[in-house]
Chain A
């Protein structure tokens, strides 16, 4: 489903949601065009509500690491929702999916460009 186009002058809202019987903690970074290193942005977990960041110029990249926990060897699904003024962005990543390992944990790192 197509979302809204990114508006560089506006703040961005990020909310991480668990769509499976798993909990998680997450960490966020950003890198503006030309940056060679990621800069820390925030961290949280399943209890963290939607938060606002930015504004960032077009081409800025947002990276996140998800640390997922639940029952061993089970299918997990998480979604990092990126929106502006309540509208999900076109560049918002699709749901992340995977299977927890035998200890019941998983990690997923992803970067998206705000465009």
Chain B
């Protein structure tokens, strides 16, 4: 269950706030929990990624596990925790564990009807736990341990909330049943219960279901991709001296809130707040950092535009460092002809977009010329295709 392939990213407290902003993917990320309840790799490279991290524990530690063990029951979780401690009571490094909270609670179900009508059930169904442990940086035998929780409180761009969508999907699944002639279990044999998952790649019924679900979701998202959503996450960390369980020094806490709201039919407003508190560590002073961002975007067949403001406020800071930082970015492009797009803009997010084929100056503005749209914000659901 343990996976040693854990790489540490530069710790957030040490990173320049906007250092990696230019490499942020231009995607909408308003519904991460539903697309991947536990993603094996956290993609929030920037302080303002406009999504709550899939695994706040890993983000708190600044690690990107190459593999995350997913526990689907309390028993799985218990086994994973036991395996993360060696025979001498030392916490092992390289632990990356994720679980859907409700699956760990005995007797708890989150049926579709309550999922659709009760926000508390919805939040519970989407609550994800993450746990990570990594060797502390520097010449030390200490371990850093973090526990994370994230959930989506509201997401109107979740198709499973829509009874019409569910009805269509149910009908489509029923239509795929004719491809199952016999169950995947033998009729002969001892009279005991047998369960066998199907082989996904070769199963025509599963392929039929996958094709139907993808097609229905794609159609549904065309009308609903930018509906309101609100997500929250928290990560808490501890340092374990000499990796020996018993003493744990609190490292701090990080919490995120991300919201999305439609901006007409083809636009979206995204906002995010993150508060990060780190306790004093060795010679490093304690820090309190508030990071915020607001992004608006709109895209049609003929034009795309976006604006964005991101900033940080260092609430506790040393006299030599700046206490706040705000950056603006924006861009506009339109289709001037077939395979001919003109774009202009400013700021790091604009320059992070794919480079144009040519740059010209018209009316004192630098315009990029490209054969395809560069500033189109790709809705995250398109990654499901």
Contacts and interface: CB of A to CB of B under 8 A. Distances in A.
Interface of A: 17-27, 29, 31, 33, 35-38, 43-47, 59, 61, 63-65, 67-75, 77, 91, 93, 96-99, 101-113, 115
Nearest to A73: B36
Interface stretch (B80-88, B177-185, B237-245, B324-332): B177-185
A105 B206 contact: yes
Given A20-B111, A36-B187, A97 B35 contact: no
11 contacts: A20-B112, A21-B115, A21-B125, A37-B182, A45-B171, A45-B173, A71-B34, A71-B160, A107-B200, A111-B187, A111-B194
Contacts of A107: 184, 197-198, 200, 203, 205-206, 209
A20 B125 contact: yes
Interface stretch (B210-218, B255-263, B270-278, B314-322): B210-218
Nearest to A47: B170
B112 A22 contact: yes
Contacts of A24: 170, 173
Contacts of A20: 109-112, 125
B195 A67 contact: no
Nearest to A60: B191
A19 B173 contact: no
B185 A109 contact: yes
A15 to B, nearest CB: 13
Contacts of A35: 187
A103 B214 contact: yes
Contacts of B212: 69
Contact of A111 (B166, B185, B203, B206): B185
Contacts of B185: 63, 109-111
A69 B173 contact: yes
Interface string B152-164: 0000001110000
A24 B169 CA distance: 8
Contact of A64 (B36, B38, B183): B183
Most chain A C-beta atoms within 10 Å of own C-beta, residue among B109, B112, B167? B112
B214 A67 contact: no
Contacts of B116: 21
Contacts of A26: 177
A78 to B, nearest CB: 10
A112 B158 contact: no
Most chain A C-beta atoms within 10 Å of own C-beta, residue among B73, B109, B170? B170
B384 interface: yes
B169 A38 contact: no
B187 A19 contact: no
Contact of B35 (A23, A72, A105): A72
B72 A109 contact: no
B176 A25 contact: yes
Most chain A C-beta atoms within 10 Å of own C-beta, residue among B171, B203, B209? B209
B29 to A, nearest CB: 15
A112 B193 contact: yes
B229 interface: no
Nearest to A115: B191
A89 B182 CA distance: 25
A44 B175 CA distance: 10
Nearest to B121: A21
Contacts of B300: none
Most chain B C-beta atoms within 10 Å of own C-beta, residue among A59, A108, A110? A110
B72 A97 contact: yes
A37 B182 CA distance: 8
B170 A113 contact: no
Contacts of B188: 36
A73 B182 CA distance: 27
B174 interface: yes
Nearest to B103: A75
A-B complex: 9 closest residue pairs judged by Cβ atoms: A103-B210, A113-B191, A19-B109, A25-B173, A109-B184, A63-B183, A31-B187, A21-B115, A25-B174
A38 B183 CA distance: 8
B37 interface: yes
A16 to B, nearest CB: 12
A111 B170 contact: no
A106 B283 CA distance: 52
Contacts of A36: 187-188
Contacts of A75: 37, 72, 100, 102-103
